[in-house]
Amino acid sequence: MNHSEHPLRLGLIGFGCVGQGFYDIIEQQPGLGLAVARIAVKSPNKPRTLPPDRFTYHADDLLHDPTLDVLVEVIDDAAEAFRLVSTALRQGRRVVTANKAMLARHLPELVQLEQEFGGTLLYEAAVCGSIPVVRTLDSYFSHEPLRAVRGIFNGSSNYVLTRMSEAGSDYATALAEAQVQGFAETDPLLDMGAFDPRSKAVILAAHAYGAFLNPDEVLNLGIEAVGAADIAYAAARGQKVKVVASVERLPNGRVAALVTPQLLGPESPLYAVEQEFNGIIIDAEYAGAQFLAGRGAGGHPTGSAVLADVLALRRGHRYGYARRAAAPAAQLTEGLELDAYVSHPDAGVLREVLTWLELPPDALHPDSAHPYATGPVALQQLWAWRKELRAAGIFVARRGAVRTVADAVPAHAEVAAVA
C-alpha cells in the first residue's frame, strides 16, 4: 500500500523536547505516510521552530476534530494528560502517550476505558525512551514466566552517578552539569529521588506479571544524599553505584517491586551502562536473561518510540495484558529484607539511624572519615522511615538480592483488578 496516498492524520498535543523530536523524525521521512495535521500547545508566547499559525492553544480542539486518525500526547502535566487521554479513549480514539507518571497512577482505569469504548492506547515512549521493552514484554514474553525485570530506568540519575565516578565530581556539581546538559530538570526530585523510575517499574509490572500496582506503595530511595565517599567505597570493591528498579517474582509466587541505589559489580550488565543511557535485564524462565540498552531520554530517541507506536496503531496493534487474569498478589515491603549499605558524614546521626532500621550498634564501621554501616534491613523499616531518611540526608544502597523473611504476612497483598 502507498501510504502517501492516504496519510495518517495526527494530532500532536505538546511540542517540547519529545514533541519536537517526533515531528522532526516524521518530516525527515515523508515516505512513512504520516502527517502532523494539528499541534496543540499551552503557551502562545514560547519561541518555537514552526510559525505560530501551525499551533492551536486549546488541546480540546483536537479532541473534537474527527478528521484526526491518531492523537499523540507528549505533555509534562500528568493530570491534564489523564484528562485528555481518558476523554479520547471514551471517544473510542487511537492514542499514543509518553506520560509515565500519568500511566503509573491511572493504568487500570485507562485499560478499562479501552475495553469499554473500543479505543487503543499505546505507550512505549513512557518507559526507557528508545528501548522497546513494553512491547517486548507484552508480545514476545506474554506467556513465558519471568523471574525478574530490572534495570536502570532513569538517565538523569545515571548521568550524575557516572560523572561522580569518572570525574570525581561531588553530587551538587554533577547535578548542575546534568541540568546544563538538559538531562535533569530544574527541580530534580522526580529523577534524583527515584520517583520517575518508580513510575516505569509500575508500568512494566502490568506487562511482566499482570500486576497493576499503586505507585504510592512501591518503595523508592534516591541518590540525593550520595557522596564521594560512597562512590569511593563502591570503587574500592570493584563496584559502581547505580539506581536500579526491579520487579521480580518471589519464591512464594508474589511480586515485589523496588527502586533503590545498588552496589553492582562487573558481573552485572548494568555495571557498564553509563551517562544518560538506560539498561534493562529481562530474566525469563526458559529464554534466560536478555539485556536491552539504549538512550533512555531525549527528543529523537523518545520520539522514535512514539513513532513506533503510531505505526503499530496503523497495523491494528494493541497490548494484550495476557497475564492480568492470573496476576499474582504483590508483596512490596513487609516480610522482605535486603543487605543494606547506609552512610552519613556524621557518625552520631548514623547511630540514630541504626535504631530506626533496627541494625545493631556493631553494624557501624569505625571509619571516622566515612561513617557507614552494613547489614540486613527490613524493607518495612525503610518504608516506615523513608521520609526521615531523605530529610536527614541518609544514603541507602542495597548490596544484594531481596529476600523473603519466614512467617511474615504481607501487608500489600491486593492487586488492583481490571474488568
116-162 tens-digit pLDDT: 999 999 999 999 988 999 999 999 999 999 999 999 999 999 999 99
110/4 Cα distance (integer angstroms): 32
Cα end-to-end span (Å), the chain:
37
Q: Does residue 417 carry a pLDDT above 80?
A: no
For the segment(s) 135-299+327-404, the CATH number from 3.30.360.10, 3.30.450.20, 1.10.10.10, 3.90.230.10 is 3.30.360.10
- Whole-model pTM: value is 0.93
Q: Which residue has the higher pLDDT, 26 or 416?
A: 26
**Alpha-carbon separation of residue 316 from 99, 107, 305, 313 (angstroms):** 22, 20, 17, 5
Instruction: Give mean pLDDT, residues 242-254.
Output: 96
Catalytic residues: 200
| Domain residue limits, the chain | 3-122, 135-299+327-404
Q: Does residue 216 carry a pLDDT above 90?
A: yes
Q: Are 193 and 94 in contact (CB under 8 A)?
A: no
Q: Return the number of other C-beta atoms located less than 10 Å from residue 388's C-beta.
A: 12
The topology (CATH level 3) of 3-122 is Rossmann fold (3.40.50)
Instruction: Give mean pLDDT, residues 306-322.
Output: 96
Residue 392, C-beta contacts closer than 8 angstroms, at least 6 positions apart: 344, 349, 353
Q: pLDDT (tens digit, 9 = 90+) per residue, 267-281?
A: 999 999 999 999 999
Residue 377, C-beta contacts closer than 8 angstroms, at least 6 positions apart: 337, 338, 339, 340, 342, 357, 358, 359, 396
Q: Does residue 365 carry a pLDDT above 70?
A: yes
